[in-house]
Structure 1
Amino acid sequence: MVNIVEAQITDLDAIVQVDRQVIGNTSRKVFIEKAIKQGRCILVNEDGDVAGFLIYDTHFFECTFISLIIVSPAKRRKGYASQMMNYLVRTSLTEKIFSSTNRSNESMQKVFKANGFIQSGIVENLDEGDPEIIYFKSKSLS
């Protein structure tokens, strides 16, 4: 069974391990812990195991901004990123939802497009030679 739920502090270690699988270290543990404590982290459970997580905030011009979406490499291509994004759009307290990805991350660009997000701008100079593409979705159009 698959469930999308708000992460609890008891999920921290499992979430950090999923993150470690993707980035190779646990350097974001404090960031993840803070997001969980502030109620800004959701996760996807697959048969009781954390398969992925999403962190957001509302500091981007007072709009919801998805800052991180991570799915365990072994659990990818099952629609989990889409399920978490759709959950967040449905429950967002703001009308506008934004996120971003590098131009080189074509798979994430496809996820945004498949979920009704549209390109809304480009930010240069975050990662040398790999611009960040900003995506937008209106809650009312969902």
Structure 2
Amino acid sequence: MNNVHDLRALTIRAGTPADAPTLVALDPVARSDGDERRTHIQRWCRAGSILLADTPTGPAGYCVLEYTFFDQGFVTMLMVAESGRGHGVGEKLLRAAMASCLTDKLFTSTNLSNQPMQRLLQRVGWRSVGMVHGLDDGDPEVFYLCTPRTR
């Protein structure tokens, strides 16, 4: 896996359709769930919704920014390569999404059980704005908001 310990060498760029196979290889869900996540990754790449964290040795993670949530920005996915977690890649991707969002409000969500993601969101200025039960049995989805004043 990529050496992501030196974040000075990490750049954020738009993903392209050519990146899809590499992102599938980076994403443990895409490697194990059949075709569903792979199909999403290919669609996100074609739509220009991917922000890619790139290192000299290849991608370290990706973020998906869409505008399908009540016409507001929504970070649909934040995925950091397993060996790169805890090194600031997720934070850089979230900050890039925050900076490039075209709407006044930017939302995301994560499972209540995903404590690392919740800590990351709070650290970069997002606030919890609600919870939805029933999407994943026994693990509610917590929604977060980032507004221009927190960007």
Normalising by the smaller structure, the TM-score range is over 0.9
Aligned with 1:39 (options 39, 45, 48): 48
Partner of 2:27, secondary structure, is helix
Aligned with 1:82 (options 91, 106, 111): 91
Alignment map for 1:1-142 (pairs within 5 Å): 1-20=9-28, 24-25=32-33, 27=35, 28-142=37-151
Query: What is the Cα deviation at residue 46 of structure 1?
Result: 1.5
Structure 1 moving runs of 4+ over 6 Å: none
C-alpha distance in structure 1 between counterparts of 2:11 and 2:119, whole Å: 23
Query: What is the Cα deviation at residue 140 of structure 1?
Result: 3.6
Q: Which runs of 5+ in 1 are unaligned?
A: none
Q: Which runs of 5+ in 2 are unaligned?
A: 1-8
Partner of 2:96, secondary structure, is helix
Larger strand proportion of the pair: 1
- Shift of the 22–31 alpha-carbon distance from structure 1 to 2, 3 Å rule, reads closer
The amino acid that maps onto 2:105 is: K
**Structure 1 range deviating more: 20-29 or 97-106:** 20-29
Query: What is the Cα deviation at residue 48 of structure 1?
Result: 3.7
Number of aligned positions between the proteins: 142
The amino acid that maps onto 2:92 is: Q
Instruction: Please say if residues 24 and 30 of structure 2, whose CA atoms lie closer than 8 Å, have aligned partners that are also in contact.
Output: no
RMSD: 1.5
Partner of 1:126, secondary structure, is coil
Percent of pairs identical after alignment?
A: 26
TM-score (norm 1): 0.94
The amino acid that maps onto 2:51 is: I
C-alpha distance in structure 2 between counterparts of 1:112 and 1:3, whole Å: 20
Who is 2:6 aligned against?
none
